[in-house]
Structure 1
């Protein structure tokens, strides 16, 4: 039962009892009875006035409570001129002004945080209390190569992505650096915040590929220049001495001492080979900017295939082409792209060793070239190091071929990957 109902029942019951008592007490005197009735009526009027005065603040309070429930903080009450009521109205108005200010402040902070997350150059993934993905910013979507609707609402452990699988292993406050396909390097950091008394995790993904590649190039460039300088300083004088000795020997003994001449010539040839060897290293550092022109990729692939076909035939390796009948144009440096294709084909031939095939596929829809060889594949233990400077799986390899390929493709802005799917052939993919 409501308070006002109780009050009305009490007042009515009290006055009814008063009327009954006055009837029995003053029934012999009509004047006194009429006077008592007038007093009772006056009391009823006073009680009703007090009721209205008391119930009005309650109505105000109920209206204010309803406004707060509806999150409408714009409802304010006008003073009535009554002291107690105005005190109540003043307190309510102050409270509603403070709530409105706090809500505006929180909305501004929330909007600022949303914009910050959305425009951040660092990938951000926010999880809920059960490690379900609730928010992914555009940078993270780009790094993960997925769509927001495919990620949000999913349990992070249910998604088959190498970056997300690494995130599962991280504890709050930890970070790790990973390399995918031997090229793309990411730094993953996991942290948490408290939301309504519960811990929620968020992950920051930062791509370090450009910084690491620049640092690598700067480091090995300095080493190569130093090596080339020292070797060239040695080769030049030695060649001059050997040529002078060979010339004087020819003048003195003619062609009688053929053994000495051959020995000196071998030394000269070896010096030239060493010089050429060092130039290969130096070419990686001195690689010129690509001169981009419109070239027909189909024609380029067929031309390089013909160039390498004789060498492949010696190992009984045959080429297969799945290319369109019409031209497929790209903007690139033709000479540098020839170097790329030659190095990839050489690696494929060395992986096959003897009797196999290399398939060239141009996919116009996806704008990519796929070169697939039937070789022994890439071991998982070396997959992340393939494009590292000077790394080679061959006994006498220099580790220059794939480094040169990487530098040329990066300078062109082309995406690429080299991997061996489980039980499949090795594929080098270039996306234009």
Structure 2
């Protein structure tokens, strides 16, 4: 039973009682009785007027509450001419207008923030209160290798993400930030922070990829050193070779064959030194890839046939699995042949007789794996660092050249020894 019905019942009961008492007491005096009845009617009228004046603001309040419950902040009330009611209406209208403005501003800010997060070049992972993934932006999807149509990640724990960066993200606390290098290729700056959500700290993680900037700076630094070394070596070797040629011709005339043979060895050594420096310079002078559509099956088959005799000679088995369908992608064939030959060379050097190298080509990736000597645990993050090599006589040039060629193609790649002991070089495109 609402307030209006209660009030009406109360007025009716009271006036009924008054009428009954007036009838019992004043019935003998007709004039006084009629006057009392008129007063009762006047009282009923004023009671109704008071009820109407009290009920109207109640109606406004109920209508306002309903509008607020429905989150409709467009409803306002007009003044009625009643001072008390108009004051109530003015307060309500002012409150609704403020709520409407704040709601509009909040919606605009939320829209702007959503667009900013989506367009951000920094990967952003927003977590819930249990450190499960709640939202991620497109950059984070690309970083984690998730398809835009993949909706399996919401509400997943951070630890379930299959990415080399994941083990470094889990132990982070709010306010922590650090720089992480993975496999000598990818370098990231990660930071964990929080924002307030319903009075509680809601965490999020920002991941900024520094690879391209660091690689460009690194290449500029070692490129300058290599060019300086090459310039000095070429100038010196050229002059020495000229003197050696002149001396060799003179000694041949004098029939000094022993000294002439020694000079020939020195000349050959100078040429090897020149070749050594050219290999370093090739990394700096690597041209932009000339891309054309080619079937990767054919390119890989040619490189495999070229290296097959070396595998046979060492007693290492080479197993090649092509894609059942053509894999036509844009590539620089000459540069890709350099990449494949370097990978085959490293795989062959890691194996001994009886071990295997497997080459598997799929529609969007290539995997070259071997069960030879694994990569030392502490060296995985240094593999693609210029001039670093696991081999005693290595120059650290091959993997650097591979890295620059593949990055020039815009392809992703990784080199690591898996738990089963097989070392995999994997390349993705598309």
> What TM-score results when the alignment is normalised by the length of structure 2?
0.91
Q: CA deviation at 1:317?
A: 2.0
Matched, 1:112 2:109: no
What does residue 158 of structure 2 align with? 156
Give the one of 401, 407, 425 matched to 1:428: 425
CA contact (8 A) 2:315 2:352 kept: no
C-alpha spacing 1:413/1:39, structure 2 compared with 1 (3 Å): closer
Q: Distance in 2 between matches of 1:49 and 1:327?
A: 90
Q: Which range moved further: 335-344 or 394-403? A: 335-344
Q: 1:388 to 1:25 in 2, by over 3 A?
A: same
How many pairs were matched up? 427
Structure 2 match to 1:354: 353
Listed one character per residue, the Cα deviations across residues 211-264 of structure 1 (whole Å, up to 9, x for unaligned) are 12211211110111111112222222222233333333333x314xx3322332
| 1:263 partnered with 2:262 | yes
Q: Which residue of 1 aligns with 2:277?
A: 278
Question: Any unmatched runs of 5+ in structure 2?
Answer: none
Please give the residue correspondences for 1:24-39 in structure 2 after superposition, counting only pairs within 5 Å: 25-39=25-39
Superposition deviation, residue 71 in structure 1: 1.0
State the match for 1:97 in structure 2: 97
Task: Determine the structure 2 residue equivalent to 1:333.
Answer: 332
Q: 2:158, 2:262 → 1: CA distance?
A: 68
Bigger Cα displacement from structure 2, 373-382 vs 131-140 = 373-382
5+ residue gaps, structure 1: none
Worse overlay, 4-13 or 225-234: 4-13
Matches of 1:30 and 1:328, distance apart in 2: 114
Partner of 1:237, secondary structure, is helix
Looking at structure 2, the residues matched to 336 and 97 of structure 1 have their Cα atoms a distance apart, in angstroms, of 66
- Secondary structure (helix, strand or coil) at the match of 2:121 reads coil
Aligned mate of 2:367, from 366, 370, 380: 370
Deviates more, 1:179-188 or 1:56-65: 179-188
CA–CA distance in 2 between the matches of 1:297 and 1:414? 14
CA distance in 2, matches of 1:310, 1:382: 30
Partner of 2:69: 69
1:372–1:164 Cα change, 3 Å = closer
Say whether the 8 Å CA contact 1:309–1:318 is kept in structure 2: no
Partner of 2:300: 301
Q: Does 1:343 align with 2:342?
A: yes
Partner of 1:401: 398
323-332 or 188-197: bigger deviation: 323-332
Deviates more, 1:344-353 or 1:284-293: 284-293
Q: Give the 3 Å change call, closer, same or farther, for CA 301–52 of structure 1 in structure 2.
A: closer
- Equivalent of 2:248, from 238, 241, 246? 246
| Distance in structure 1 (CA, Å) of the matches to 2:386 and 2:31 | 121
Matched, 1:388 2:385: yes
Structure 1 residues 34, 431: CA separation in 2 closer, same or farther (over 3 Å shift)? closer
1:415 paired with 2:416, answer: no
1:334 Cα offset (Å):
2.5
Aligned equivalent of 2:46:
46
Provide TM-score, normalisation by structure 1.
Answer: 0.91
Structure 1 residues 143 and 55, CA, compared in 2 at 3 Å: closer, same or farther? same
Q: Select between 158-167 and 123-132 the one with higher mean Cα deviation.
A: 158-167
Partner of 2:200: 198
Comparing 140-149 with 329-338, greater Cα deviation is found at 329-338
Using a 3 Å threshold, how does the CA distance of structure 1 residues 178 and 408 change in structure 2: closer, same or farther?
same
Q: 1:359 to 1:32 in 2, by over 3 A?
A: closer
- Per-residue deviation at 1:143? 0.5
Equivalent residue runs for 1:130-145 within 5 Å? 130-145=130-145
Q: CA deviation at 1:23?
A: 4.2
Matched residue, 1:234: 236
The answer (yes or no) to whether the contact 2:144–2:162 under 8 Å persists in 1 is: no
Give a deviation string over 1:3-44, Cα, whole Å, max 9, x none: 545544554454345445544553442222222222222222
2:357 aligns to what SS in structure 1?
Answer: strand
Q: Per-residue deviation at 1:145?
A: 0.9
Alignment correspondent of 1:217: 219
Mean CA deviation greater in 124-133 or 74-83: 74-83
* Structure 1 segments of 4+ aligned residues over 6 angstroms from their partners: none
* Distance change (3 Å), C-alpha of 1:64 and 1:332: closer
* Cα distance, 1:90–1:384 mapped onto 2, change above 3 Å: same
Q: CA, structure 1 residues 187+35, in 2 after alignment: closer, same or farther (shift >3 Å)?
A: same
